[in-house]
A and B are shown apart, each in its own frame.
Chain A
Amino acid sequence: MHKTLKKLTGRNESYVFLILLALGLLIQIRSGQFFTGNNLVDIASAMIVPGMFAVGAFLVLISGGIDVSFPALASLAAYATTKSLLDAGYVGGVWLPILMALVIGAILGAFNGLFIGYFDLNAMIITLGASSVFKGFMQGTLESKQLAVIPTGMKAFGTSALFTATNRVSGITSRMPVAFLVFVAVVAVAWFLLNKTYFGRGIYAIGGNPASAKAAGFNVKRTKFFVFVIVGMISAVAGVIRVCMMQQCHPTNMLGMEMNIIAGVVLGGTAITGGAGTLTGCMLGTLLIVMVENSMILIGVPTTWKDVFVGALIVIGTGISAMQVKRASHAADKAKKITGKEAV
């Protein structure tokens, strides 16, 4: 019991969970609207797209890289899919758009992966450039415009509900979209991949120390490449799902999400230097950002203050985890010094 407690207090996830709980209680006290069925369903539904993006950003961070191109990638994939199906007069189910998004996402992800994996170029700068290329391709070559109508199959998928929750006081009803299942599936696959496969252990290994991962027999270049392919696929599907849920395709309103997503993942305890982090922490951190973005209005904070809070959250959150790393390495140094002296 004592051991598990110690293990829990040493982990970022526990703190993030406590902050989440405190924030929830604060909102509950101030507005009485937090722990109501419809608010919780709303938060879960707001979590779908950021949550999927976060899984992608998490995989890249674990592998020791960083990806800032996923919103542009998702926008391009979602726009290309929606537009081409619309032009073709497609009336079938949602499986084809998702399949197309997977293919487009894989190709665009491979573009990133090629430069970062096989040429070993700086991930931050390549994905920044790629983000600009994707955006330029979408707005220049495809001449993207807002699409007010989307294929019927996608629309039906976006509006169908698993269940609905009604607020007894205000009578507001919220739907839990079927798309939530896709999010759950993505998380489950990522968990399986990371914890149960050789490839997944390789992602942790190359993020921790590429040289030793190589010596241990992992193919560093190929692992990095496939991480970006997978992230491209996840992001593209998230983009299509967002289009389905919004019932329209707005090509540019996903751009600029990257920072909040990465911040959420890092808040959840994922090391920006790679090699360490858990999916649970990643989800909790993202939930914290989603809650700050969606629920501040409930405690009377105007929406214009959102960025201030998110920015402060990034600085304080990453600051705390950086301090922990510093203290840990300090302690290790001290221990070394003491043992060194004893040996002499």
Chain B
Amino acid sequence: MEKFKKVWRNNQHIVRLLIIMVVWLVFMALTRFRKFYTFNNFQTMASQFPEYGIMSMGVMLCMITGGIDLSCVGIANLTSILAAVWMTKLAGQAGVLSAGYYPLIFLLAIVVGTVCGALNGFLISRIRIPPILATLGVNQLLTGICIASTGGAAMSAFPKQFTDSVAGNIGGVVPVRLIVFVVLAVVIWFMLSRTTYGAKLHLLGTSEKVAFYSGLNTTGLLMRTYITSGVYSALGGLMMLATYASARADYGQQYTLQTILIVVLGGVSPNGGKGRLSGVVLAILVLKLLESGINRFQNVSSYYISLIWGGVLILAMMLDYFSDRSRARAR
């Protein structure tokens, strides 16, 4: 019993998410078994969650430092627009883009993400603008650039070979986007638990002052974090480009809220210093299962999803509040 309590205390968020997941899966099994438990549905889910899942992992890093990244959607859209332009340049509007160029497109995304992330990082760590404002401003700036360069219209006249391959499934079973997600998750896992970066990040989030006086290069650390987040947002943008097969300045607006919801639900404290990748990945899965499940009920308007997301976010915050308080009392 004592042991169980300890496991619960250390993995509260994960246990909570697992309970939600199991309850929801049982509920779906009882009510909409045939519509929900199909190979197709699970394959669709696995190919849809990577776009915001990848962005969420970047936001997680920022939130562990006590900051936030609200610019992921702007970075993602800028990347997908630039990638569309780049592909047209490489192969011509009706041309065929050979597979040899694919790494170049990923490279473009990484460059765009690095530049935008570095701008965020510079504003936050050097100029000391609060992260909320800095990333908001950058988001508006990037969205503005997207609108100004496309006139607000959707871009869909570009060679589709790249998007088709990313949107496809390997061997007809495993979605390519899922593999990209897994690879990127492993990279984050490696950074957080196999290098000193993770420990430094948590220290920075707990107290920037202590981190600074312990001799950490806090500016460099923040730069690295926001650049990583920028690159992840840009790669999320490539996934979005593959999903929609077109690029537009205002795609994925709901992801700003969704990424924060995922990160908070996954047990990352908005005040910084706390958070684990496993919780966030689990939260990504739970959210997708919930969304897909709700969509199986035709009589529930899709507008309710926004209400449910907001409600769940506030509920998660309340649960954290009460569990923190009971823990404080137990001491």
Contact = CB atoms under 8 A, between A and B. Distances in A.
Interface of A: 66, 115, 119-122, 124-126, 128-137, 139-141, 143, 259-260, 262-263, 266, 272-273, 302, 304-312, 314-315, 318-319, 322-323, 325-326
Contact of B129 (A119, A132, A302, A322): A322
Interface string B100-139: 0000000000000000000000010001111011101111
B68 interface: yes
Contacts of A309: 144
B258 to A, nearest CB: 9
Given A132-B313, A135-B306, A314-B137, A319 B129 contact: yes
Contacts of B306: 132-133, 135-136, 139-140
Contacts of B129: 315, 318-319, 322
B133 to A, nearest CB: 5
Contacts of A263: 133, 136-137, 140
B127 A322 contact: yes
Given A259-B140, A310-B140, 17 more contacts: A66-B132, A124-B132, A130-B314, A136-B303, A136-B304, A136-B305, A136-B307, A139-B306, A304-B147, A304-B148, A309-B144, A311-B144, A312-B141, A314-B141, A322-B129, A323-B127, A326-B128
26 contacts: A66-B132, A120-B321, A124-B132, A125-B313, A126-B314, A129-B310, A132-B307, A133-B306, A133-B310, A136-B305, A136-B307, A136-B310, A140-B304, A262-B133, A263-B133, A304-B147, A308-B145, A308-B148, A310-B144, A314-B136, A314-B141, A318-B129, A319-B127, A323-B128, A325-B128, A326-B127
B24 interface: no
Nearest to B151: A304
Interface string B132-167: 111011111111110110011000000000000000
B310 A266 contact: no
Contacts of A302: 148
A210 to B, nearest CB: 14
A60 to B, nearest CB: 13
Given A304-B148, A323-B127, A132 B309 contact: yes
List 8 tightest A-B contacts by C-beta distance, closest first: A136-B307, A307-B144, A311-B141, A132-B310, A314-B137, A308-B144, A311-B140, A133-B310
A133 B151 CA distance: 31
A129 B313 contact: yes
Interface string B238-282: 000000000000000000010011001000001100000000000
Given A125-B317, A132-B307, A319 B136 contact: no
Contacts, number: 149
Contact of A307 (B123, B143, B271): B143
Contact of A119 (B303, B305, B311, B318): B318
B307 A133 contact: yes
Nearest to B306: A136
A143 to B, nearest CB: 7
A263 B135 CA distance: 12
Contacts of A273: 130
A139 B145 CA distance: 30
B260 A139 contact: no
Nearest to A301: B148
A140 B307 contact: yes
B33 to A, nearest CB: 26
A260 B309 CA distance: 24
Contact of A133 (B134, B137, B144, B311): B311
> Could you tell me the dominant secondary structure of chain A's interface residues?
helix
B317 A122 contact: yes
A137 B307 contact: yes
B138 A315 contact: yes
Contact of A125 (B143, B152, B264, B301): B264
Contacts of B151: 304
A314 B151 CA distance: 22
Contact of A305 (B133, B144, B313): B144
B68 to A, nearest CB: 7
A122 B68 CA distance: 12
A315 B317 contact: no
B70 to A, nearest CB: 9
B140 A122 contact: no
Nearest to A314: B137
B183 interface: no
Interface string B51-87: 0000000000000000010000000000000000000
B212 to A, nearest CB: 13
A119 B133 CA distance: 24
Nearest to B325: A119
Contacts of A326: 127-128
B308 interface: yes
Contacts of B313: 125, 128-129, 132
B123 A115 contact: no
Contact of B136 (A259, A305, A325): A259
Contact of A266 (B68, B133, B148, B317): B133
Contacts of B303: 135-136, 139-140
A139 B308 CA distance: 12
Of A134, A306, A318, which is in contact with the most chain B CB atoms at under 10 Å from its CB?
A318
A121 B321 contact: yes
A315 B308 CA distance: 33
B130 A272 contact: yes
Given A140-B306, A311-B138, A322-B129, A128 B143 contact: no
A225 to B, nearest CB: 16
A66 B131 CA distance: 13
A120, A266, A319 pick with most chain B CB within 10 angstroms: A319
A318 B307 contact: no
A322 B261 CA distance: 28
A325 B147 CA distance: 33
A194 B136 CA distance: 28
A70 B134 CA distance: 20
A64 to B, nearest CB: 12
Nearest to A66: B132
Contacts of B128: 322-323, 325-326
Contacts of A132: 257, 306-307, 309-310, 313
